[in-house]
Structure 1
Amino acid sequence: MRLRRLNGRIGIALASAGLLGLGLTTLPATTTGASAQGTERPASTVVETTDGKVRGNSRTGYDEWLGIPYAASPTGARRWTAPQPTAEWKGVRDATAFSERCAQPSGWDPGYENPTTTENCLSLNVYVPQGTKGRLPVLVWIHGGGYFGGAGQDTDPRKFVEQTGSVVVTVNYRLGPLGFLNLPELRKESADGAGNYGLLDQQAALRWVQANVAGFGGNPKNVTIAGQSAGASSVCAQLASPTAKGLFARAGIMSGSCGMQSASAGETQSKAFVKEIGCSTASDVLACLRAKPASAIVTAQQKAAVRPSLGGAAFPTDPAVAVETGKFSRVPVMLGQTNSERGLSTFQNYDYLGKPMTAAQYETEVRGAYGAGADKVLAEYPLSAYDTPGEAWTAAQNGSTSYARWQLMGTLSRWTPTYAYEFAESDTPHFTSIFLIQQKSETARNFPFGGAIHVDDLGYLWDYLGQTMPYDDDQLELSSQMIRYWGHFAANGDPNGARTPAWPKYTTRTEALMSLSACDTSPASGKSPAACSKVSTQFDEEHNLDFWESLPS
């Protein structure tokens, strides 16, 4: 198939769904990029940073420093401004507990049962392996959550840290309207910031890493940024940002896409929010907004969502255009998805609410998502071929999402080393939130998700939301293998290393990617549990990409 620019309707559908928005043996130091030269990991849990000393926790096999501020509290007059330097402190600051999450509505994830209304949240967490010498590779993780939810503490990376010998940093950043409001009044205050404060927060955290990670044993010249879902789209935005250049050496994009709405589209969203919160008729709109409590902002954003938009020196160009034209930081990229990305959204938007999709809703959704190509989609994915309209919708959405990812794989591979994958372990226990819902709900237990869904792969790299999932022995081997791949990539920009199947670079000629899955070893066979990951060139056939390529742009 020839490579073609992303179908506009498909891109819009992905953006509206929030999808535009890691056996257990320690890797040898030589495979992680650690060097006998340079500093060792800190000898104590008190570390000097550019802002003052911090004291962390010593755990079994690793040390952690939690809730370290990397920017000043974005409150009061600093609400809706670019991140400012944090004030230095005297003495030793306690860094043994997470900071508050950034303001956001409640959700179904454990720990998110109630809204969060804290704005003093610009902090990060540092995890360092014990007993490892040399300057260590650093992985900075940007959480997902549709740009309106989540926090750095959702990721517990201890098994990744211990097995790879890497330093991991997880980051909070501003969300929703507090992170992404784009108004003429804000642009008049400052040329930078409007529409992308949360993304600028991520850059401030990366600058903190450059200035401070050596004190924790990390190598500031060997930093990987990675994220999932909205975190993955954030990574692509940082690839395209001129002001992020030089802050990282490689990038991981998990279940995310490249693309950002225009400033005008962001302004339309933002004005709808201003109206919803009751400030549209104020003589001073910004004063009205800054006087509102965070609780009112969180409530209003549930009816008027705001997402990142272009603008300023940091984000002048749509990341989708930047990667297509090669005008981005050309660092090695690891890129992939799960094999049923959209099964989760079908469940979340319909069956979880007790209202399964109807035939009429299926047609409405298809026509809204695919416009001039809708009749072809309805013919290609007819209701008669599926048990329920929801399954038809999941199948169609999986196809269009995979088409967008396939195009991104090809586009990036033209400019920089790109390693593509699909997480294809269809029998996996679903990620924490769905797994817990399934314990109580027969509807959730019986729902046809269609394979590995959005977020399912995270538990194989680290404990997502602090929960260890009940993987079988083959799946534990897959987890070990994936951690090796991601660890090697973080160290060297190449996932290949000892005791893993060879993973080729992606090219549009071969379209070879790594299909990640566990074996199905019978306990009675006497064979050892194993991963069954392999190189695949069938991604296009498995996701019907010839059809999606045939649709009008």
Structure 2
Amino acid sequence: MAGSPGTPPPPAGSPSSYAGGPVHSSHRTPSARKRRVLLAAAGLAVVLVTAVLVVLGVQRSADPAAIGPVVQTDRGAVRGVRDGDVRAWRGIPYAAPPVGPLRWREPEPAAAWSGVRDGSDPGPSCLQPSLEDPARIAPGTSEDCLALSVVRPDDDRTDLPVLVWIHGGAFVTGSGTAFDTSGMAARGVVVVSPNYRLGVLGFFAHPALDSDVANFGLLDQLAALRWVRDNVEAFGGDPDRVTLVGSSAGAMSVNALLTMPATEGLVAGAISQSALGDSRVRTLARTEAAAARRFPDRTAEQLRSMPAEDLLTPTLDVFAGEAPVLDSVLTEPAVEAFEDGRALAVPYVVGSTDLEFPGARPSLLGSFAGVTRAQRSGRQAQRVRRAYGAAYEKHVGSDVMLSLPALRLAVGHSGQAPTYRYRYAADPGGSRHSADVGAVFAAADSPTRSAATEQVARYWLAFVRTGDPAVVGQARWPEVAVDGEPTTAMLEITPDGAVTHGTDPWEDRLLALARLVVP
């Protein structure tokens, strides 16, 4: 059967590849003045911390001898590759290229193709700045980038659980294939990882566009979920067991998607790893005003015909358009929606690492939480300092950005569906931002695999399979809600193994911080 994961490749002489392909961007360099402005942007270094981890993944090349099976999607046939103990289909379009008149519009369906498309090449990542020189466009990126990859075990099982991975990168960098997901896939999971529009191309509003939509990157993710619903069964996946997983900006996306009514019926569970709170979320009016100042007196047609490089680079200095926007797609901040019980009622895992950003200054209390100078020197601020003690300088910035939002999300959601909170502390010197991602995806025989990281993979696998992270022989992960009441219960992954806590050891300091920063 053409759609079966085990279908053999077509005979010699059959069409072997899709002739069309994305047009990569030119790597035009902005003016020297623009480069100086961009390189001087203080915030860019913070934004790109997340991205460093994301872009270091190694993309495997396809051996001609490892040609894999052909799968029939709703737009055409795709030939995959066999790669060790997995099969992979890469670079599958899930939406039309968002270029020209489709720039800053909701994603349109991908065009159908004839013959058999080559699924060995992931294609370009979405247009983004180079990490080495953010004034330049990263090579291998393009505005035509709305494709995804599917990886599954190299066998003929069907009805496998599905993990949809939303990559991080501060909404400005990264790609769906930056991490090698074959380690998780080999354990019996179909892993789907889409690209989505980034930066000013993905999160943008301008008065000339006359639209109440700004979150085009989130709409891309939603389109990818619909593609999964319609096609994953052909790859051996169960469309009724789809778990949405993301880290950093990807975790913020997961949380946002759970607040969107259109997501209902597309996911059965979700995992949010190290999501920043809602402090970066902007209003539509503020986003439009910033864009109007940057691109004055432009019509919609002129904006859509501008070279993508000219749009992308001027926004990096002030982050304009580089985060979710409150619009007709995302109508309220995710943390508030979770706390008010308006998120999709599916099983949910949320957490962070124990030392996300050790260099984050306590002054971030103001920029990330809206805390005034007077508040930072007031009585409650002194209580916060006492609760932290010697840990204040090292931890309070990270806690404002990540640990406290994770607690608020968990407590808020615990009344809607089974909810589990974790802290990843598997590294003796402290686990940095996104350290847990490698633990999730590394192969079981990886030299970087430890007892602690193996426990993480098993918990995640159990949750993806059943919506319950129970693992035989491992510590029982407690739910946040006990007898219907929220608690600070959690699972902590330490270098020596998993430890459960009925009460978070950080409870006093996080609750003191909450009384300072939560309206």
Name the TM-score, length of structure 1 as normaliser.
0.74
Partner of 1:40: none
Structure 1 contact 67–124 (Cα < 8 Å) conserved = yes
Equivalent pairs, count: 444
Post-superposition offset of 1:98: 1.0
Give a deviation string over 1:386-438, Cα, whole Å, max 9, x none: 7xxxx8544221333322221221111111100111101132xxxxxxxxxxx
Partner of 1:541: 506
1:391-410 aligned within 5 A? 393-400=393-400, 401-410=402-411
Distance 1:227 1:67 in 2: 20
Structure 2 contact 348–419 (Cα < 8 Å) conserved = yes
Partner of 1:431: none
- Of the three residues 64, 70, 73, the one matched with 2:88 is 64
- Structure 1 stretches lacking a partner, 5+ long: 1-12, 22-42, 347-361, 428-449, 520-531
Partner of 1:244: 263
Partner of 2:219: 200
Distance 1:423 1:364 in 2: 25
1:106-505 aligned within 5 A? 106-107=130-131, 114=138, 118-131=142-155, 133-163=157-187, 165-186=188-209, 188=210, 190-191=211-212, 194-257=213-276, 259=278, 265-276=283-294, 279-282=295-298, 284=299, 286-305=300-319, 306=321, 307-312=323-328, 314-343=329-358, 346=360, 365-369=364-368, 370-371=371-372, 372-376=374-378, 377=381, 380-381=384-385, 393-400=393-400, 401-427=402-428, 451-463=430-442, 471=448, 476-505=450-479
Post-superposition offset of 1:258: 5.8
Structure 1 contact 235–251 (Cα < 8 Å) conserved = yes
Post-superposition offset of 1:373: 2.5
Structure 2 contact 339–412 (Cα < 8 Å) conserved = yes
Q: Judging changes above 3 Å, is the alpha-carbon distance between structure 1 residues 319 and 364 closer, same or farther for their aligned structure 2 residues? A: closer
Q: Which has the higher contact order (CA 8 A, sep 6+)?
A: 1
Distance 1:85 1:19 in 2: 34
Structure 2 contact 415–486 (Cα < 8 Å) conserved = no
Give a deviation string over 1:132-184, Cα, whole Å, max 9, x none: 52310000000011111110011211111112x01000110001110011223
Give a deviation string over 1:476-516, Cα, whole Å, max 9, x none: 22222211111110110001032322112112554221111
Q: The residue matched to 1:156 in structure 2 has which SS?
A: coil
Distance 1:62 1:236 in 2: 30
Structure 2 contact 245–271 (Cα < 8 Å) conserved = yes
Distance 1:304 1:68 in 2: 34
Q: Judging changes above 3 Å, is the alpha-carbon distance between structure 1 residues 116 and 373 closer, same or farther for their aligned structure 2 residues? A: farther
- Of the three residues 72, 76, 80, the one matched with 1:48 is 72
Post-superposition offset of 1:273: 3.9
> Structure 2: which amino acid aligns with 1:59?
D
Q: Judging changes above 3 Å, is the alpha-carbon distance between structure 1 residues 199 and 292 closer, same or farther for their aligned structure 2 residues? A: same
Q: Judging changes above 3 Å, is the alpha-carbon distance between structure 1 residues 185 and 262 closer, same or farther for their aligned structure 2 residues? A: farther
- Structure 2 stretches lacking a partner, 5+ long: 1-42, 52-66
Distance 2:279 2:189 in 1: 31
Give a deviation string over 1:73-97, Cα, whole Å, max 9, x none: 0000000100001110000001101
Q: Judging changes above 3 Å, is the alpha-carbon distance between structure 1 residues 230 and 18 closer, same or farther for their aligned structure 2 residues? A: farther
Partner of 1:35: none
Q: Judging changes above 3 Å, is the alpha-carbon distance between structure 1 residues 74 and 202 closer, same or farther for their aligned structure 2 residues? A: same
Q: The residue matched to 1:303 in structure 2 has which SS?
A: coil
Greater shift, 455-464 or 326-335, is seen at 455-464
Distance 2:255 2:486 in 1: 24
Post-superposition offset of 1:324: 2.2
Name the TM-score, length of structure 2 as normaliser.
0.78
Structure 1 contact 398–543 (Cα < 8 Å) conserved = no
Structure 1 contact 19–255 (Cα < 8 Å) conserved = no
Distance 2:399 2:462 in 1: 30
Q: The residue matched to 1:120 in structure 2 has which SS?
A: coil
Post-superposition offset of 1:331: 0.5
Post-superposition offset of 1:68: 0.4
Partner of 1:28: none
Structure 1 contact 236–257 (Cα < 8 Å) conserved = no
> Structure 1: which amino acid aligns with 2:79?
R
Q: The residue matched to 2:488 in structure 1 has which SS?
A: coil
> Structure 2: which amino acid aligns with 1:309?
V
Q: Percent identity?
A: 33
Distance 2:47 2:190 in 1: 32
